[in-house]
Structure 1
Amino acid sequence: MTDTNGYCTTTESVLPPCRICGEKASGFHYGVNTCEACKGFFRRSLMRKEEYKCPGMSNCEICPGKRNSCAFCRFKKCLAMGMSKEAIKTGRYTLEKRTKDIQEVKRLQQAEACPSPENWDHIQEIEYLICVIIKAHKIYGQDIMFDKEEINKRQTEYYEQYKLKESVFGSLPTISKEEFDSFYHSTGIDLDNRLHLMELYAKSMEESIRRFVNFAKTIPSFTNLTLSDQSSLIKASRFEFWFLGSYRLMNPVLKVATGYNGACYHIEELSRIWDRDFLEAVFSFSACLQKLNLEDDEIGLIRAIIIMSVDRCTLDEPKKVEDIQWKLVNCLDYHLNQKDSTNKKRLAKIFDRLMSLRSLTEWNLKLIHSMKVEWAVFRQNPLLYEILTV
């Protein structure tokens, strides 16, 4: 049974409306709650060889009664909302997901009728939003202080020095956290420099978080959200925001990473404080993302979209957040078309990479939870500790 708005009212199937068209959802398909029509459309789109074309300006409204108006914009929204072929593997309808859906349906049923969101798709407004985001990113989001050639030069020199030192003194096996703690407590000696490395990491992270929060506040309408939603969105997007600023500082071949200050570290050094398998995955995915050759303005828009992801945390006003994100997606699409109108697959490739990044995010959350307990430097920094508490 459904009410007049099409929201399910039975206890057997409690789902929010389809994320794509707004009509009644039938289940969790390709990683997103959708109706049967949008599920079938996305499946056919994945098998389609020809690219869709928009008869308008690539910003058609996809809503109840209008889902068939433009296949191009409908497919674009499917990708923006998180649908992907890979999501089939992890798209099981868990108890946690069901609970979130029930809470959202209750909010929708209890909310008073309100007028439709204002139309943000006007071309002048899109250009204004793009300008705001790119300008803010230049101020708060510039994580790389050196050009690509300088970074490669520093990494190559450091790698050669590291290998030379290793050939002279031999490679020392990484000792466990338990062994390090035991030795440190009995001698007070930072045996392999990991405490110093962690302190440098925490200091760098604190500065990055301040710039991250300032950037988020410049996203139009972000500060109009409840403080709870602002906090939740920032915490949930922290790792992916950092990664989008750091992946170009990773050298997957040499396994050397460069910090924002230009200092370089080999993966063996980083594994003193981070899980080795996680680091291998970070370098591997960095190589994958580097192939897109994203420019700074594109990264700024992508980071804004990441911050406004509605499906990673419980929100007071998920619809408002989703509306903001959809407009940002339109901004990115418009910006990409302005730069190269012939490359229609670039947006899809970007969102495909972002969906793949989710697995690293979940991994990072588990590691950070342990590190907060094990490393005193986190507890000594209230801002850092709070932002890492999800």
Structure 2
Amino acid sequence: MSEEEEQQQAKTSEEEEEEEDEEPKICQVCGDQANGYHFNAMTCEGCKGFFRRAMKRPESFKCPFQRNCVITKSNRRQCQACRLQKCLSIGMRREMIMSDEAVEERRWKIKRRRLLAEPLLLSTNQELLIQELVKAHDQTFDKTCSHFAQFRPLDRWLKSKSDNSRWKQGPTQPGVKVWSLYDEGDPGSSSSSSSSTTSMGGENGSQMTRGQGGKGTVFTSLSHIDDLSTYMIQTVINYSKLISAFRDLTIEDQISLLKGGTFEIVMIRLNMLFNDKTGVWECGSLHYDIGDAFRAGFQTHLLDPVMRCHYTLRRLHLHDVEYVLMQAIALFSPDRPGVTNRDVISHHQETLAITLLTYIESKRNEEDKHLLFPKIMACLTEMRTMNEEYSKQVLQIQDIQPEVSPLILEVISQDS
């Protein structure tokens, strides 16, 4: 065959393909107009969505008739069992359905490609959102850690005479039942909640022995770590109440988001104080290492991933704005237990994520900056996997040595 004949044959084949493309596509399930192949079969958007939902249902459908219903566009909603059977009979495959995580990842990739199609600049609304979040963070994050000295002493501090003198008075940081902060006053207020507090030890709060049964303290740094954790949780609560989008939610959803996200936000805040060269949290004049958490009763299957996460996140060299946006993304997580208004919270989280992505693209100059956003999101996912283990270990510590503050126990409780 000559070159000219081959070209003519190729042209004819292309024309035939174009004619086929122009022919109307019919859904093989219901006969409606199809818009492409879905899960290995030509279907309409409606039958595509039905098949995805049906495959994720734990229970099976039952036909109210004789299991031989004819499925059409007009009656396809009447018998789900026969409609699903028709989907399967034309070759739709369950294994081709993407997981929710994969769908979300693909959605973000599509949005990112659209955003990167033109130079990115923060919008006025995004600038205002960042300003609000930074202000809330700055007002509630103790960068100098000056308040840390108010807590019961850490065990290793008492080894020196000077520290013994410093802690002679044994001051304590009060605990508080977390949701009492909403009992009085404006939910947006960041004022102190000391009037609603209950004592966690009183004059004997600094003693290193347990008063019940004459038994010695098992976890020697628990008292100080408990005070420190309680204080940091209180700052997260005050931080969230300064965010207008959070205040607009129902109290029930606010509680659910705080219960679900506080551990992750505290982790993010502590990372801002972490020195990845020494493995030490530098809190003003006070320094902490992972051994302090171990002596508070936490075990290696939590502490090991915590350390890895801190090293990974710190080595991203995040800007303060990126840390702040990361905190807010963790707070507005629509799939926390007890959340009711998921759509609204999901919208807030999406807005925050897009703002973070836009900030990175517009403010950073590194060649690999496009990798930073997925790395931050991966860190957030990693922190979330530790959340359940943290709650489990806190309850184990409380069973052995019941000194955990009411605030911490309230945050990790499952009921809302």
1:362–1:253 Cα change, 3 Å: farther
The answer to whether residue 317 in structure 2 is matched with residue 281 in structure 1 is: no
The aligned amino acid for 1:264 is H
- Identical-pair percentage: 19
Equivalent in the alignment of 1:358? 384
Equivalent in the alignment of 2:40? none
Deviation at 1:345, TM superposition (A): 2.4
* Maintained 8 Å contact 1:298/1:332: yes
The gaps in structure 2 that reach 5 residues or longer are 1-29, 31-44, 59-93, 147-155, 161-208
The answer to whether residue 78 in structure 2 is matched with residue 55 in structure 1 is: no
1:314–1:359 Cα change, 3 Å: same
1:374–1:53 Cα change, 3 Å: same
The answer to whether residue 268 in structure 2 is matched with residue 199 in structure 1 is: no
Bigger Rg over Cα: 2
Secondary structure of 1:282's aligned partner: helix
User: Matches of 1:228 and 1:209 in 2, distance apart?
Assistant: 18
User: Matches of 1:9 and 1:285 in 2, distance apart?
Assistant: 35
Equivalent in the alignment of 1:294? 318
Equivalent in the alignment of 1:347? 373
User: Matches of 1:294 and 1:212 in 2, distance apart?
Assistant: 20
What is the CA deviation profile of residues 266-314 of structure 1, one whole-angstrom value per residue up to 9, with x for unaligned ones?
4444322211332222222211111101122211111011100112323
TM-score normalised to structure 2 length: 0.55
* Aligned positions of 1:245-256 closer than 5 A: 245-250=269-274, 254-256=278-280
TM-score normalised to structure 1 length: 0.58
* Maintained 8 Å contact 1:250/1:283: no
1:371–1:255 Cα change, 3 Å: same
User: Matches of 1:210 and 1:244 in 2, distance apart?
Assistant: 15
How well do the aligned residues superpose, as a CA RMSD in angstroms? Answer: 4.1
* Aligned positions of 1:293-332 closer than 5 A: 293-332=317-356
Deviation at 1:317, TM superposition (A): 0.5
User: Matches of 2:378 and 2:52 in 1, distance apart?
Assistant: 34
* Aligned positions of 1:116-265 closer than 5 A: 123-143=123-143, 145=145, 187-190=214-217, 194-195=219-220, 197-250=221-274, 254-258=278-282, 260=283, 262-265=285-288
* Maintained 8 Å contact 2:137/2:324: yes
RCO (CA 8 Å, sep 6+): is it higher in 1 or 2? 1
* Maintained 8 Å contact 1:213/1:234: yes
Deviation at 1:202, TM superposition (A): 1.7
What is the CA deviation profile of residues 342-377 of structure 1, one whole-angstrom value per residue up to 9, with x for unaligned ones?
622221221122222222223212212323443322
Equivalent in the alignment of 1:87? none
User: Matches of 2:144 and 2:307 in 1, distance apart?
Assistant: 17
User: Matches of 2:274 and 2:335 in 1, distance apart?
Assistant: 28
* Maintained 8 Å contact 2:274/2:281: yes
Deviation at 1:253, TM superposition (A): 6.2
Secondary structure of 1:218's aligned partner: coil
Equivalent in the alignment of 2:87? none
User: Matches of 2:212 and 2:236 in 1, distance apart?
Assistant: 36
User: Matches of 1:207 and 1:183 in 2, distance apart?
Assistant: 22
Equivalent in the alignment of 2:101? 32
Equivalent in the alignment of 1:271? 294
Secondary structure of 1:264's aligned partner: strand
* Maintained 8 Å contact 1:129/1:220: no
Secondary structure of 2:124's aligned partner: helix
User: Matches of 2:125 and 2:116 in 1, distance apart?
Assistant: 20
The answer to whether residue 411 in structure 2 is matched with residue 369 in structure 1 is: no
- Matched pairs, number: 274
1:28–1:265 Cα change, 3 Å: farther
User: Matches of 2:48 and 2:97 in 1, distance apart?
Assistant: 20
1:9–1:188 Cα change, 3 Å: closer
Equivalent in the alignment of 2:199? none
* Maintained 8 Å contact 1:51/1:344: no
Equivalent in the alignment of 1:104? none
The gaps in structure 1 that reach 5 residues or longer are 16-24, 60-121, 147-157, 163-181
Instruction: Give the stretch that moved more between structures: 3-12 or 329-338.
Output: 3-12
* Maintained 8 Å contact 1:142/1:245: no
User: Matches of 2:364 and 2:394 in 1, distance apart?
Assistant: 39
1:11–1:374 Cα change, 3 Å: farther
